[in-house]
Amino acid sequence: MLTARGRIRYVHIGDYRKWVNSELLSDLTGATLQCPGFPGVSMSCVELLPLKQGNFSCSTVSIANITDGSCVFTSCTNGGLVAPLPRVPDLEAQRTAMKRLSFLVGEWVGNARVRRGPSETAELLQTEEAQYKLDGLLLMIEGVGRAQSDGRPILQALGLISYDDETKTYHMRAFNDGRFLETEVKVSEDGQGMTWGFALGEIRTQSVMRINDRGEWTELHEITIGLQPPKQLMELAVHRQK
């Protein structure tokens, strides 16, 4: 039986509501209360709602089947489960962890090649811009691939990376073509790259980002559909402009 801490303020006996305002009970399971105005009637709460966690605080308790001084706990309104206070994030720990991604900050330009079909690829003029937001709590990355012929945008994507100091993991929410996906990001030990991937039904992607020996931001993206072998989806190389 679940142990629940709280106090009973009212009881309902038929259509009659009686103010009880019990003392704070460390365990409502089996609690017995004397109801003033009903001599000889005691209420033993012998059943609780299936609460999962936290403290139990009811403003109204409904009682049914009063027989020989016993009752069954049947409902609770205007109160219910009082959740524990949310954990306070460690903002300094988050900002410190996000500094590991500072190698991305800036404006980058270069080229990209993207698969457009089974045997067709497109060459793009690629730009990447990364900047911190919320005083270093977020890193926003915007990538745009434009057609070399007329500068028309072909690919546009935006990613927001954050750090969870409780689980000690980086997470990214990526937006593209009216959709978004979320995933965990792993930063390389040398602090010069990261990996991530997405899964949507039978489609899975794997992405590797690295700063190469020439200081270029490079990415390689692969896609896997069902049991088919992985295929290259996109690759890019951009250099820092400022």
Of 8-22, 121-135, 154-168, 212-226, least confident by mean pLDDT is: 8-22
pLDDT in the model for residue 17: 46
Last residue in a domain, options 82, 105, 126 = 82
pLDDT in the model for residue 81: 38
Tell me whether residue 1 is in a domain: no
- CB count within 10 Å of CB 58 equals 23
Tell me whether residue 4 is in a domain: no
Rounded CA gap, 14 and 5, in Å? 26
Check whether residue 98 and residue 74 sit in a common domain. no
Per-residue pLDDT band at 29 (split at 50, 70, 90): very low
Check whether residue 77 and residue 46 sit in a common domain. yes
Check whether residue 167 and residue 233 sit in a common domain. yes
Tell me whether residue 199 is in a domain: yes
Number of domains in the chain: 2
pLDDT in the model for residue 215: 96
Check whether residue 15 and residue 33 sit in a common domain. yes
60: region left, alpha or beta (phi > 0 left; psi from -120 to 50 alpha): beta
> What single string gives the DSSP state of each residue in 62-119?
EEEEEETTEEEEEEEES-EEEPPPPPPP-HHHHHHHHGGGGGG-EEEEEEEEEE-SSS
Coil, strand or helix at 14: coil
Higher pLDDT, 124 or 31: 124
The tens digit of pLDDT for each residue in 11-22 reads 444 444 444 444
DSSP element (H, E) containing 55 = strand 55-57
Q: In terms of residue numbers, what domain contains 116?
A: 91-240
Rounded CA gap, 48 and 29, in Å? 7
Return the percentage of the chain with pLDDT > 70, whole number.
Answer: 65
Single pTM value for the model: 0.65
pLDDT in the model for residue 177: 86
The tens digit of pLDDT for each residue in 160-191 reads 999 999 999 999 999 998 889 999 999 999 99
Say if residue 146's pLDDT is above 60.
yes
Structure tokens at 207: 């992405």
Averaged over 197-225, what is the pLDDT? Answer: 95
The tens digit of pLDDT for each residue in 111-123 reads 999 988 777 888 9
Amino acid (1-letter code) at residue 117: G
Last residue in a domain, options 82, 109, 125 = 82
pLDDT in the model for residue 85: 57
Say if residue 103's pLDDT is above 60.
yes
Tell me whether residue 26 is in a domain: yes
Residue in 167, 164, 145, 153 with CA at minimum distance from that of residue 238 = 145
pLDDT in the model for residue 183: 95
- Give the mean pLDDT of the chain: 75
Residue in 25, 43, 17, 209 with CA at minimum distance from that of residue 112 = 209
Say if residue 36's pLDDT is above 80.
no
